[in-house]
Structure formats: structure tokens, C-alpha cells
């Protein structure tokens, strides 16, 4: 193997040094991680590993039941399964999991469903895992853990090899001065009900009785012994390991969905197994390049290592929420959060936001994230709120759509890639979706749209705004305009600002694609709509943009984050922008410890703790606020706000804690779902925008 043949003795000696080195308790994990990282990649030809790109999230887990999915899990390549580190010695010898995200939106197959046991051939006794110490390092490309006792060093590396498979690579080294004959065997099991255990010639197949998930755990080495009745159903013949020598073992884990064929995955697995360390080296180089490119885009104001950690953690969060096309999902995309059972699908405006950040990490994935939602656009131009892989677990939501931000996302991708073919592919779809709003969501045909729903319910109409329980909708009623057109009785400033910005973007797209007729039309519509937004939604007495009644005569006087969206879309006049900025930068309103929350702190309905859209900070809206300030030349204010957002929100700049759905504006406490994708996406945008 490249760069490794002559490195085994050093590898072993360094492992021993690693185990014997005495470090201060607070520094132990970090130094061990860096040493171990340097060790592994020195041996396979990588000269440096960034301290700021390892151990970003704490993956230790000890699930109480198969339904206990509170732990953070590592996933990659779009896989529908993931792993954690064992916190309990009872589960040493493998990684906790896999957690199968395709079964009931997240269930552990077992607390360690591929656990290695080592039998001393002389005594016929299993080596006791309680006698081992464990150290671990998490990279963006793989997980590695090392177990050590006075006689053995065991290093296990887990890497995803495809969207359906992973390899667990184990190295066992004899530390003693005598040869040791050992028998390796695996406890391959599940604690899940309604799962059949079917022996295979080299492993075990687990088949769900309730959906189409099939999990294979199998040996990639030669396994002469497979006995489902044994506590260790997969075993190898005894192996003699000389003093200082090391033995290698390879196990495969594959999760198949729908019409997946195991033979295809088996070919990939065997190819990778033959040169595992070479494959790992190549993959780590790819990940390092992504990290390096992302680091190169950091705003000059945010070069401190803590911001690099935030950037890398955000990229890792998106990686772990990446799901490959399967069943009813025709393209890859990012789910909001694997930590919440309600979030294992693709949402429309989440997708637009994910894509805008993903283009800086993986352009192909960014494009597919958009395609995944447009796969479900109706002939009329309606895009559903959310779609799912398996509608027996959760139904698509066609009750409402989400705010029109797909044009923005496509344009962000085009600016980064200059890919005219992708622009040409998406342009007519965005145009159709844009026109849909004016047919089905402009009840009085005045050129200003309202949020609404397909079923006439106020609940779904609130969902359509994305701000489900916002104070501005407390007195809202629904109107039935006939022909299945149901809208709110108020016109929303954010919706019409999004639509105006999309008109501008469609004009830019049409010029690139030489559609001069549409370009002229969109420019004309933009001018008229800008005048309407500036005059109807702006209240000079308070210096803020508000929703209004349908006739435009009454403000819905709730000072919320929608008020800075006209600045984000470059709609406000300079005078209006100055007044909005003053409100945004006022501590008693929006500029607290963690700024730009969803509702002014001066509002009597302000609820920062568990208020959802009535007070917490959502990083997407906070980002729009920061971008709004940049748009009007308030750079110092934008940078100051970004610094507070990133530094004062719990866990964003420190290693270990996952990124959260929203944050307390006064304490910075992380709230609601963990490992939240659009928060991660907007941290990236906050730190690279200028």
C-alpha cells in the first residue's frame, strides 16, 4: 500500500508512545487527537491535518433503547445511516450503531451491531474489553478509535465508501514479546422489533418487516464460519500474530433501500478493501481541499481560529444531514436535522437556503438539492412544502408551499460556477413558479401577494410563510376567492420583497440566456413593485416595514424580522434603510447579546425561551439582517452583528456541541432541534459574505 509498506514498525511504536504519553487532563483529548491524526496520515502520505477540522462534534453515545436517538451521529456521502463512539466499555470493539434513518426516521439497529470480540486461543476466553482504554478522533472523512491494554493495541477506522455502504477497518497489534494466537469473532445483532435476521454465506442480513430497509453486515475477508445461533455468528479461523506484528480485518455495512442491489455495493466494497488506506488517503485529500477552499473564502474580519471551527462544524453538519436519492426522492439533498424525527425529508425554503451555502462546498449537491424540490412542481407551478422518501412513514405536504427563494439560490450557484447549462435548466421552472404566486396568491389582483394554503386552512397558510406562530398572524383570517384560491386577509412585506428580488434575478437570468422579452417585462414589473412596497409597507413614524391589511390601509403593527427583508432585497430607499438600521441596532429591540431575533424585545408578546417565531434567533433571518446592512453600506454594523451571532450563540465556535435550530437572544442558549442544517448553511454565509 502506497506510503505504508515500510511504515508499520513506526506506526506501532507511535501507537505505543501515544498510549504511554502522560498529558494534562484538559489537554489530553485534543493532543491525543492531533497526534493520532498526524500518525495515521503521515503513514499514508498526508503532511498536515488541521487542528480546527477534527473532533468538531462530540459523537460519544450510550443509547438506552433503540429509539433513543439523542446522540450525535457521523454520516457521509448521503448515507441513510450513521455511527457514534461507544461511551460504555460494554460496547467497545466497534462503533455505536448503525442508526438507520430510513426506519421510523431514525432507529438504532443495535448499541453496537458489528462488535468485535477477541478470543485467546490458548485459554479459550474472550479478551475483556473492561481492561482497555479508548481514545478517539473524528475527521470529516472518517472516524478512528484506538483501544489499548498491556498486551494489545486495536485501532478501528470507519469510512463511508458510497451512499449505501461503509467499511470498518480494524488493525490489531501484539505488544507482548511472545506470539499470540487469537480468534476474531463478531457479535452481529439487532434489538429492533419487526426485523428478520437472515444468515448469509459471509455475514448477516437484517430485513425490516415494516418498510423496504435491508441492512447487510458482512466480512470482506474470508469467513469460514457463519452460525446464526452463536452469540458470535461470524468468526475467523485462529490467527497467530508475532511480537510487534499487526493483523488487519475488514467488515462491511450496507443499508439498501427500494430497488438497491447488494451486488453493486459489494463490488465497491471489495475494491476499496483491497487498498483501504490508499482510498482513505485520497478521500481525506478531497475533504482537506474542501476545508481549505472554504477557509480561503472567510471574510478578512473573521480569520480567528474560532471562526474556522464554526465554518468546519457547519460543513460537517450539512454532511451528516445529506441524504442520497432513494425511493420517492429523485435527487440528493439535505434534511433539516437527523436529530428530530419530524425532519427526515426535504423542505422547500430549507432547500433554497442549503443550496446557497452548499455551492461553496459541493456544487453538484447544491444543484441536486434544488432539483429534488422541483421534481415535485405541479403543472401550475406549485411546489409542495416538503417531500419524503417513503410516504408510508410521512406524507408529502401539498397543503402549502414556502417563500420564493429558489431563484436566489440558483443565482448564487450561477455566480459561483458560471454554469449556463444549469441556469438554462432551471430558468423556465423558476419563471413558472414565480408566475404561480400571482395567479393563486394575489386575491385582489393588485400586484401584491398574500400567503395562503391549498386546503383553505389558516394553519397551512402560516406554514407557507415559514414563520408558523409569528405574532403578525395572531389576528389573521382566511379568504376564499373561489376556484380553490385561499389566501390570508393581509399582504406580507417579506413575501412581496422575495418576489421583487426574484423578478430582478429572473431579469438577470434572461439577459444571460438572451431572453430579452422576459428581461424587459421583469424590469418593468420590478420598478412598479418597488414603489408599492416602499409606499404601502413602510411606516415612517416607527421606521419599520410591516405587513398590512388587504387594502393596504392598516399596518399589522408587530415589529418582526420581516421588517428588514426589503433591505435584504435592496428595495428600501436610503432614508428608509437608515431608520430600519437604527431599530435593528437598538439593544432594547433587536441588538442584544445574540442579535436579530424574530421579534423585537420591546413587543409585549416577545418570548425568547421556546417562543419559536416569537422571539428566538433563527440564523436564516439573522443572516438576511446582516446582508441587509451590507447592502446599504453599514459594514461595521454587519461585522459586529456577525461576530455576536457566531461567538455568543452556544456551541458554534467551540468543539463538541452541535449547531441548533434557534438560539436564545439574551443568553445564547441553543434551542429546539440539534444538528440543524439551515443554521449551519447561514453560519457559512455569514462568515464568507463581504
639's CB contacts (< 8 A; 6+ apart) are: 299, 301
pLDDT at 496: 98
For cell 389558516, name the residue.
458
SS3 of residue 73 by DSSP: coil
pLDDT at 49: 53
Q: If pLDDT is split at 50, 70 and 90, which confidence band does 200 have?
A: confident
pLDDT at 31: 38
Q: Is the pLDDT of residue 319 over 70?
A: yes
Share of the chain above pLDDT 90, in %: 85
pTM: 0.93
- Pick the more confident residue, 293 or 1: 293
Q: Is the pLDDT of residue 26 over 80?
A: no
The values of phi and psi at residue 152, to 5°, are -135, 150
Q: Is the pLDDT of residue 25 over 70?
A: no
Q: Is the pLDDT of residue 308 over 50?
A: yes
pLDDT at 225: 65
Provide mean pLDDT across the span 380-392: 97
How much of the chain is in helix, strand and coil states, percent to nearest 5?
40, 20, 40
pLDDT at 224: 61
543's CB contacts (< 8 A; 6+ apart) are: 576, 579, 580, 582, 583
Provide mean pLDDT across the span 679-684: 98
Count the Cβ atoms, other than its own, within 10 Å of residue 289.
10
Q: Is the pLDDT of residue 558 over 90?
A: yes
pLDDT at 230: 81
Alpha-carbon distance 573 to 122, whole Å?
A: 84
Q: Which helix (H) or strand (E) holds 31?
A: helix 25-43
Provide mean pLDDT across the span 385-393: 95
Parse the chain into domains and list their residue ranges: 5-287, 298-688
pLDDT at 223: 66
Using CA of residue 607, residue 609, residue 611, residue 613, what is the dihedral sign? positive
Q: Is the pLDDT of residue 10 over 70?
A: no
Q: If pLDDT is split at 50, 70 and 90, which confidence band does 15 have?
A: very low
Provide mean pLDDT across the span 374-385: 98
Q: Is the pLDDT of residue 4 over 50?
A: no
Share of the chain above pLDDT 70, in %: 92
Alpha-carbon distance 372 to 364, whole Å?
A: 12
pLDDT at 482: 79
Q: Give the residue among 187, 192, 230 at the shortest CA–CA distance from 214.
A: 192
Q: Within 13 A of 231's CA, how many CA atoms are on the CB side? A: 5
CATH of 5-287, one of 3.90.550.10, 2.70.98.50, 1.25.40.10, 1.20.120.1200: 2.70.98.50
- Pick the more confident residue, 38 or 202: 202
Q: If pLDDT is split at 50, 70 and 90, which confidence band does 233 have?
A: confident
Q: Is the pLDDT of residue 120 over 60?
A: yes
- Pick the more confident residue, 223 or 470: 470
Q: Is the pLDDT of residue 23 over 80?
A: no
Question: 305-320 and 276-296 helices cross at what angle (nearest 10)?
Answer: 120
Q: Output the DSSP codes for 299-330.
A: -GGG-SHHHHHHHHHHHHHHHHTEE--BTTB-
pLDDT at 436: 98
657 near 309, Cβ under 8 Å? no
pLDDT at 521: 95
303 near 66, Cβ under 8 Å? no
- Number of helices and strands in the chain (H, E): 17, 31
Provide mean pLDDT across the span 125-132: 95
CA distances from 57 to 100, 320, 659 (A): 20, 11, 9
Residue range 35-89, pLDDT digits in tens: 444 354 334 333 345 788 899 999 999 999 999 999 999 999 999 999 999 999 9
Alpha-carbon distance 187 to 433, whole Å?
A: 53
Residue range 148-198, pLDDT digits in tens: 999 999 999 999 999 999 999 999 999 999 999 999 999 998 999 999 999
Q: Which fold has domain 298-688?
A: Glycosyltransferase (1.50.10)
Residue range 449-481, pLDDT digits in tens: 999 999 999 999 999 999 999 999 999 999 998
Q: Is the pLDDT of residue 411 over 90?
A: yes
Q: Is the pLDDT of residue 532 over 80?
A: yes
Q: If pLDDT is split at 50, 70 and 90, which confidence band does 234 have?
A: confident
Mean pLDDT, the chain, rounded, equals 92
Amino acid at each position: 500500500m502506497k506510503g505504508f509498506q515500510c511504515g508499520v514498525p513506526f506506526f506501532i511504536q507511535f501507537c505505543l508512545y501515544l498510549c504511554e504519553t502522560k498529558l494534562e487532563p484538559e489537554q489530553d483529548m485534543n493532543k491525543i487527537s492531533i497526534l493520532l491524526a498526524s500518525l495515521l496520515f503521515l503513514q499514508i502520505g498526508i503532511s498536515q491535518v488541521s487542528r480546527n477540522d477534527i473532533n468538531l462534534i462530540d459523537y460519544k453515545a450510550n443509547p438506552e433503547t433503540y429509539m433513543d436517538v439523542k446522540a450525535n451521529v457521523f454520516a457521509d456521502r448521503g448515507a441513510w445511516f450513521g455511527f457514534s463512539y461507544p461511551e460504555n466499555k460494554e460496547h467497545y470493539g466497534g462503533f455505536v450503531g448503525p442508526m438507520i434513518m430510513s426506519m421510523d426516521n431514525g432507529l438504532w439497529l443495535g448499541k453496537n451491531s458489528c462488535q468485535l470480540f477477541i478470543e485467546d486461543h490458548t485459554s479459550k476466553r474472550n479478551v475483556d474489553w473492561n481492561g482497555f482504554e479508548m481514545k478517539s478522533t473524528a475527521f470529516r472523512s472518517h472516524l478512528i478509535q484506538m483501544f489499548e491494554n498491556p498486551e494489545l493495541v486495536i485501532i478501528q477506522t470507519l469510512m463511508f465508501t458510497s451512499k449505501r455502504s461503509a467499511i470498518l477497518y480494524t488493525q490489531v497489534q501484539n505488544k507482548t514479546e511472545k506470539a499470540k494466537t487469537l480468534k476474531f469473532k463478531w457479535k452481529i445483532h439487532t434489538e429492533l422489533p419487526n426485523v428478520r435476521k437472515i444468515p448469509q454465506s459471509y455475514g448477516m442480513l437484517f430485513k425490516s418487516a415494516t418498510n423496504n430497509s435491508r441492512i447487510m453486515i458482512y466480512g470482506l475477508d474470508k469467513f469460514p464460519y457463519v452460525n446464526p445461533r452463536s452469540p458470535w455468528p461470524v468468526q475467523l479461523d485462529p490467527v497467530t500474530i508475532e511480537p510487534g506484528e499487526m493483523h488487519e480485518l475488514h467488515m462491511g455495512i450496507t443499508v439498501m433501500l427500494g430497488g438497491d442491489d447488494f451486488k453493486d455495493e459489494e463490488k465497491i466494497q471489495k475494491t476499496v478493501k483491497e487498498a483501504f488506506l490508499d482510498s482513505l488517503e485520497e478521500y481525506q485529500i478531497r475533504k482537506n481541499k474542501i476545508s481549505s477552499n472554504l477557509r480561503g473564502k472567510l471574510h478578512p474580519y473573521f480569520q480567528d481560529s474560532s471562526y474556522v471551527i464554526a465554518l468546519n462544524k457547519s460543513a460537517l453538519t450539512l454532511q451528516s444531514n445529506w441524504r442520497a436519492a432513494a425511493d420517492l426522492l429523485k435527487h440528493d439533498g439535505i434534511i433539516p436535522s437527523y436529530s428530530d424525527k419530524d425532519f427526515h425529508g426535504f423542505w422547500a425554503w430549507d432547500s433554497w437556503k442549503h443550496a446557497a451555502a452548499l455551492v461553496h462546498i459541493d456544487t453538484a449537491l447544491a444543484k441536486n438539492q434544488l432539483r429534488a424540490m422541483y421534481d415535485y412542481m405541479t403543472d401550475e407551478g406549485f411546489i409542495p412544502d416538503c417531500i419524503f422518501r417513503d410516504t408510508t412513514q410521512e406524507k408529502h405536504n401539498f397543503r402549502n408551499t414556502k417563500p420564493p427563494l429558489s431563484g436566489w439560490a440558483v443565482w448564487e450557484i450561477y455566480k459561483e460556477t458560471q454554469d449556463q447549462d444549469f441556469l438554462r435548466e432551471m430558468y423556465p421552472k423558476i419563471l413558472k413558479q414565480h408566475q404561480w404566486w400571482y395567479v393563486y396568491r394575489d386575491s385582489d389582483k393588485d400586484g401584491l401577494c398574500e400567503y395562503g394554503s391549498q386546503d383553505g386552512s389558516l394553519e397551512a397558510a402560516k406554514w407557507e410563510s415559514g414563520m408558523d406562530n409569528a405574532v403578525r398572524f395572531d389576528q389573521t383570517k382566511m379568504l376564499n376567492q373561489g376556484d380553490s384560491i385561499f389566501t390570508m386577509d393581509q399582504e406580507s412585506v417579506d413575501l412581496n420583497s422575495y418576489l421583487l428580488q426574484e423578478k430582478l434575478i429572473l431579469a438577470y437570468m434572461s439577459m444571460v440566456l438572451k431572453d430579452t422579452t422576459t428581461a424587459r417585462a421583469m424590469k418593468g414589473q420590478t420598478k412598479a413593485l418597488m414603489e408599492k412596497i416602499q409606499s404601502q409597507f413602510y411606516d415612517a413614524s416607527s421606521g419599520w416595514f410591516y405587513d398590512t391589511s388587504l387594502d393596504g390601509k392598516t399596518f399589522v403593527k408587530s415589529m418582526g424580522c420581516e421588517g428588514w427583508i426589503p433591505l435584504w432585497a435592496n428595495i428600501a430607499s436610503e432614508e428608509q434603510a437608515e431608520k430600519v438600521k437604527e431599530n435593528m441596532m437598538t439593544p432594547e429591540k433587536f441588538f442584544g447579546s445574540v442579535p436579530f431575533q424574530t421579534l423585537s424585545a420591546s413587543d409585549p408578546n416577545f418570548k425568547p425561551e421556546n417562543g419559536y417565531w416569537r422571539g428566538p434567533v433563527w440564523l436564516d433571518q439573522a443572516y438576511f439582517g446582516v446582508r441587509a446592512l451590507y447592502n446599504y453600506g453599514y459594514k461595521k454594523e454587519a461585522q459586529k452583528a456577525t461576530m455576536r451571532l457566531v461567538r455568543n450563540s452556544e456551541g458554534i465556535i467551540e468543539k463538541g456541541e452541535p449547531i441548533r435550530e434557534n438560539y436564545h437572544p439574551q443568553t445564547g442558549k441553543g434551542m429546539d432541534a440539534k444538528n440543524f442544517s439551515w443554521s449551519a448553511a447561514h453560519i457559512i454565509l455569514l462568515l464568507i459574505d463581504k
